[in-house]
Amino acid sequence: MNTRKLGPFTVSAMGLGCMNLSHAYGQPPSEQQGEKLLLAALDAGVTLFDTAALYGFGANESLVGRVMKPHRREFTLCSKGGMAGVTGDDGVVRRVIDGRPETIRRNCEDSLRRLQTDVIDLYYLHRWDKKVPIEDSVGAMSRLVEQGKVRTIGLSEVSAATLRKAHAVHPLTAVQTEYSLWTRNPEIAVLDACRELGIAFVAFSPLARGFLCDALQDVGTLDAKDIRRSMPRFEPGHYAENLKLLPRYKALAQEAGCSPAQLALAWLLHKRADIIPIPGTTRLEHLTDNLGAAQVQLDSTLVERLEAHINQRTVHGNRYSAQARAEVDTEEFE
C-alpha cells in the first residue's frame, strides 16, 4: 500500500471508515464479521482506522477497541466527539450535537475507555456546534493534546472560514468532509484552505454512499433505518435520474481497466497527494476491490471526461436533508 502524510503520521493512502460495521446503513454485520473485516484491512496494509462516538452510539468504538487493541502500535487511530448518543428521560438514545468544552472532555474520556487505549492519534470535532464559538471547542481539544489524551486534532464538515478560525487557536492535522465525484463541495474553498495551511483532507463517503459502486438499483429495498432514506439524492424521483449516469460511468471504468468503485477512489487519489479517502464496507470482497484502487492509473483525458459526466450540475438532489444541511458548515454550490 502506498502511503500519505497525515500531519505527523505516515498512513496508508486509503484508510478504513469503520462506521458501516455498526451504524447507518440498516442492520449492521455481526461482531464476528466486523472483527474479520478490521483484521483483514490491517493485514492488507491499511494503517488508518476511523471511528466516532456516534457510530452505533459507542458500539463501533467498542468493536474497534476490542479487536485492534493487540495491534495498537501498527496503525493510526482516529475518532470524533462533539456529536454522540444521549439517553433522554424516556430512555431513548438520540443523536445530540454538543461542542461545549465540558462535553468534549467527557466524550474523549468515554472514547478512550471504549477504544481501550491511552491516546487517540487524531481526534475530530464531529460537527461544529453553532451555539458554541469554534474557538471554545477547539480550545478544549487543544487541552486534550496538552494532557496527552490525543496527539492531534481535526474538524469535520466545516467551511474554509471556520477552518481558519480553528487553526489559529491550535494547529489542525486534518479536515474530514464528504467528497466524491457526486459531492464536490470541498472544491469551492476547503481544499484550497487545506493546502494553504498544510492540513490533510480526509474524504468520507468517497463511493457516494454506494452509488458509485453500482451497488443499489432499487432504493425501495433500503432498510427502514438506512440513513440514505432521508437523503434527497436517494428519493425515488431523484435517484431514477441519477441512475442514468451509471452506464457511461461504468463504461469509463471499463476503459480504465478497473471496477466502478476503484474508479471513484482512483479519481480521489489522483486529485491531490494530501487527500486520503476512507471508504467503508462490511464485505471482505469489497474491501479487496477498494484497496485495488491504489494501483489504478488514470490519464488526464479520462479524468476530464469523468468529471464532466458526474458533478454538481449533473447529479439530482441535495446530499443532505434540510435539517442535516443546517447542522453542517460546509460551503454549497448555488
Calpha distance 48→270 (Å, rounded): 19
In a domain, 62, yes or no: yes
Q: pTM here?
A: 0.97
| CA–CA separation, 41 and 14 (whole Å) | 10
User: Is the residue at 115 inside a domain?
Assistant: yes
> Is residue 34 in some structural domain?
yes
- The C-alpha atoms of residue 110 and residue 53 are separated, in whole angstroms, by 8
Whether residue 311 lies inside any domain: the answer is no
Nearest to 263, CA basis, from 255, 166, 199, 84: 255
C-alpha cell at 137: 471547542
Distance of CA 282 to the CA centre of its chain: 15
Which domain range does residue 89 map to?
A: 3-207+273-296
Q: Are 50 and 16 in contact (CB under 8 A)?
A: yes
> At 1, is the pLDDT very low, low, confident or very high (cuts 50, 70, 90)?
confident
**208: which DSSP letter?**
G
Q: Which residues pair with 276 in a beta bridge?
A: 202
Segment holding 196, helix H or strand E: helix 190-197
79 contacts 124 by C-beta, under 8 angstroms: yes
Strands (E), 133-251: 150-156, 174-178, 200-204
* Residue 91's pLDDT band (cuts 50, 70, 90): confident
Cα–Cα dist 290/279, whole Å? 8
Would 99 be classed as within a structural domain? yes
Mean pLDDT value across residues 63-71: 98
Taking residues 279-304, report their average pLDDT: 97
The chain-wide mean pLDDT, for the chain, equals 97
Whether the CB-CB separation of 260 and 212 falls below 8 Å is answered with yes
- For residue range 202-231, list pLDDT tens digits in order: 999 999 999 999 879 999 999 999 999 999
Output the nine-digit C-alpha cell for 80: 470524533
Q: Report the C-alpha dihedral over residues 312, 79, 99, 106, rounded to 10 degrees.
A: 170
Residue 236: in which H helix or E strand, if any?
Answer: helix 236-243
Judge whether 303 lies within some domain. Answer: no
The residues carrying an active-site annotation are 55
CATH number of the CATH domain containing 53: 3.20.20.100
- Number of domains comprising the chain: 1
332 phi and psi angles, rounded to 5 deg: -130, 145
Tell me, yes or no, whether 327 lies in a domain.
no
Residue 314 resides in a domain: no
- Give me the mean pLDDT over the 117-125 stretch: 98
